[in-house]
Amino acid sequence: MNAETIFARGEKASQEFFSHAVWVRMLHVDENKAFDTQVYNVEFEPSARTHWHSHPGGQILLVTEGCGYYQEKGQPARRLQKGDVVAIPPDVVHWHGAAPAERFVHIGMSTQVHLGPATWFGPVTDSEYGEVEAR
Amino acid sequence: MNAETIFARGEKASQEFFSHAVWVRMLHVDENKAFDTQVYNVEFEPSARTHWHSHPGGQILLVTEGCGYYQEKGQPARRLQKGDVVAIPPDVVHWHGAAPAERFVHIGMSTQVHLGPATWFGPVTDSEYGEVEAR
């Protein structure tokens, strides 16, 4: 954990939906459903990434440290660094994660959570991930 | 702006709803209403603070730098520092802002914005602000 880290590292996430090591800390669970929003901090080790997935209510990412990528299915990847914001519309299939040699930390917000949980579509393969870096 | 700053300082906010200097940068405006959420970075100079206000859809704050306060009407103030999270339920009258000798920066999220804009109730007086610091 370096000096810039704002939120303490959370629990190591299940490998069911991620490749390589990812730590997730919930910042707002919304257990009383008063805000219709969940907020969390996600830290990726180098090369770590989510599986392909989509959110029925959308998701917003705020990058706080490191370098990584966001890619929508069928589109070129967008390189991300500290200070970048990504608004991922409902039902858009995508992944996000670290660059191969750099850690990556973002705040994530799942918006309109009453619309339901994320849908998952399997890993971003090493081949798919390699194509991003080759650009 | 110090080395920890994640988001570049935004525009100086109107004095209509703030005391002392405050800078606001919108991070997600939600112009297409796809997320029902607005996100922004707010930087307060020492002693700067919002007026008393409430949000019909709630607000979540993530403190990224400095020291400040959050106070609900009729309650003791809560001192805030980097890494703190505040979930402000719908219609709760409150203010947030910097400690007297310290700058304060937070990310803010207005949730369920379809429920309407904030309602404002006038300044946190120097007397009210002084009581917080006296504790």
Mean per-residue pLDDT of chain A: 94
- What domains, with CATH codes, occur in chain A? 11-134 (2.60.120.10)
The answer to whether the Cβ–Cβ distance between B64 and A6 falls below 8 Å is yes
Question: Which whole number is the average pLDDT over A30-38?
Answer: 97
Question: Which whole number is the average pLDDT over A61-70?
Answer: 97
Beta-ladder partners of B31: none
Question: Which whole number is the average pLDDT over B104-130?
Answer: 97
% of residues, chain A, pLDDT over 90: 90
Q: Which pLDDT score, from 0 to 100, does residue B1 have?
A: 43
Q: Which residues contact B98 (CB under 8 A, 6 or more apart)?
A: B20, B44, B45, B46, B47, B48, B49, B66, B67, B68, B69, B104
Residues of A within 8 A of B26 (CB-CB) are none
Q: What are phi and psi of A115, to 5 degrees?
A: -80, -10
Nearest CA in chain A to B64: A6
Per-residue pLDDT of B98-114, as tens digits, reads 999 999 999 999 999 99
Distance CA(A52)–CA(A45), nearest Å, equals 18
Residues of A within 8 A of B58 (CB-CB) are 34-35
The answer to whether the Cβ–Cβ distance between B58 and A39 falls below 8 Å is no
Of the partner residues A6, A39, A83, the one whose CB lies closest to the CB of residue B8: A83
Of the partner residues B7, B8, B87, the one whose CB lies closest to the CB of residue A35: B87
Q: Of B19, B11, B9, B16, nearest to B95 (Cα)?
A: B19
Of the partner residues A8, A37, A107, the one whose CB lies closest to the CB of residue B37: A37
Give the angle B92-B26-B77 at the CA atoms, nearest 5°: 30
Per-residue pLDDT of A109-129, as tens digits, reads 999 999 999 999 999 999 999
Q: How far is B11 from chain A (nearest CA, A)?
A: 16
By residue count, chain B amounts to: 135
Residues of B within 8 A of A34 (CB-CB) are 58, 87, 89-90
Q: How far is B25 from chain A (nearest CA, A)?
A: 12
Q: Of A97, A88, A114, A99, nearest to A42 (Cα)?
A: A97
Residue A16 CA: distances (Å) to CA of A107, A118, A119, B8: 20, 13, 12, 36
Q: Which pLDDT score, from 0 to 100, does residue A119 have?
A: 98
% of residues, chain B, pLDDT over 70: 95
Element (H, E) at B49: strand B49-50
Distance CA(B17)–CA(A67), nearest Å, equals 36
- Give the global pTM: 0.95
Question: Which whole number is the average pLDDT over B86-94?
Answer: 98
Of the partner residues B8, B58, B62, the one whose CB lies closest to the CB of residue A107: B62
Q: Which pLDDT score, from 0 to 100, does residue A134 have?
A: 61
The answer to whether the Cβ–Cβ distance between A58 and B35 falls below 8 Å is yes
Q: Which pLDDT score, from 0 to 100, does residue A1 have?
A: 43
Q: Which pLDDT score, from 0 to 100, does residue A5 have?
A: 79
Residues of B within 8 A of A60 (CB-CB) are 28, 35, 37, 39
Residues of A within 8 A of B61 (CB-CB) are none
Nearest CA in chain B to A2: B4
Can you tell me the ipTM of this complex? 0.94
